[in-house]
Amino acid sequence: MNKPTKIGVLTSGGDSPGMNAAIRAVVRTGLHYGLEVFGIHRGYAGMVEDDIEPMNSRSVANIIQRGGTILKTARCKEFMTPEGRKIAYDNLRKHGIDGLVIIGGDGSFRGAQIFSNEYDIPCIGIPGTIDKDMAGTDFTIGFDTAVNTAVRAIDKIRDTADAHDRLFIVEVMGRDAGYIALHSGIATGAEHILIPETKTNVEEIIAGLTEKEKRRKLVNLIVVAEGDDTGGGDEVGKMVKERLPNADVRVCILGHIQRGGSPTCLDRLIASRMGYHAVECLMEGKHNVMVGIVNNRMHYLPLDNAVKAKERFNKEWLRIVKILAS
């Protein structure tokens, strides 16, 4: 396969801290190899609407520390249709773009795979999602920042729980994956962590809270992923209040504060590394792969596998939670 001469970079799906660092790495690595680099605004919507502009080194100056994405992101129903993808292809061809780097999650990669198969444009995926739900990589851009944001918030909530002898139920993001809940819950000493990967045993939670009440352990913390089968933090709060009417229960939903903010050092590092290697992949003629990091080594997974597979959940973590919260 011929090496590309002009490449496009876009961010798609939910934003995650560190996307700007990845954009910066793609642009500057591409320029290093003498490529022309184009920024595609608002994800696939920008491809369809020809919201595409050339980028240079100054375009990505002073962005590595910023959350969000300077290229912005959007949903695009039109790109899901063959007619929309044809318009997108014609716009890329107009600019001479013959290689793409897509920063996003599995939905973004699914679109890239379909598009590349239809029009034979090499696409390289960089996993940018706070949920850490992608197989083939130990890290996804934004997860470390999101978890640290949640931990800082929960630590502050625990201070109030301690001052008032309250049970706090904290809902964190994670519609389909519970990694933010799991990691932040363990790091903050939560008594129970509820995640989509496992069925929640309400009776076990009530029994645990009752037993701790007998021991006069009045400060309790439950961390709930929004996608847990109970229905999230509010529903868990209702169930606990019904069963333990004397308990002083408060529900706190952290919401989108987990998406924003300046990326951590780790997120900046992995984003820079992945962005660099994404361009290397294009220069080496790789086609339709996701750039990941496994055991601190670069790992390349076909986009098709990245879309179909999910990160395997290690249930040993839940055993650790039970033991440490006892």
Helix (H) or strand (E) holding 319: helix 316-324
**Nearest CA-CA partner of 193 in 218, 216, 170:** 170
Specify binding-site residues for ADP: 24-28, 158, 189-191, 215, 217-219
List binding-site positions for Mg(2+). 106
Catalytic residue among 51, 98, 131, 267: 131
Which residues line the annotated binding site for ATP?
A: 14, 75-76, 105-108
Which backbone phi and psi does 134 adopt, to 5 degrees? -105, 130
Q: How far apart are the C-alpha atoms of 325 and 221, rounded to whole Å?
A: 10
Unique residue bearing structure tokens 């050092």: 265
Q: Is residue 26 within 8 Å of 100, Cβ to Cβ?
A: no
Q: Cβ(223)–Cβ(186) under 8 Å? A: no
Hey, CA dihedral for 59, 258, 228, 326, is it positive or negative? positive
Compute the residue count for the chain. Answer: 326
Q: Is 138 in the active site?
A: no
Distance CA 168, CA 158 (A): 8
Distance CA 28, CA 19 (A): 14
Q: What does the alpha-carbon distance between residue 226 and residue 235 come to, in Å, rounded to a whole number?
A: 10
- Who contacts 254 (Cβ-Cβ below 8 Å, separation ≥6)? 149, 150, 153, 170, 171, 172, 173
Number of helices (H), then strands (E), belonging to the chain: the values are: 11, 11
Half-sphere exposure of 160 (CA within 13 A, CB side): 13
d(CA 224, CA 208): 16
Sequence ranges of the binding site? 14, 24-28, 75-76, 105-108, 129-131, 158, 166, 173-175, 189-191, 215, 217-219, 226, 250, 256-259
The CB density around residue 86, as the number of other CB atoms within 10 Å, is 13
Question: Which residue, chain included where needed, has tokens 């625990």?
Answer: 158
Among 141, 135, 137, 77, residue whose Cα is nearest residue 111: 77
Which are the catalytic amino acids? 131
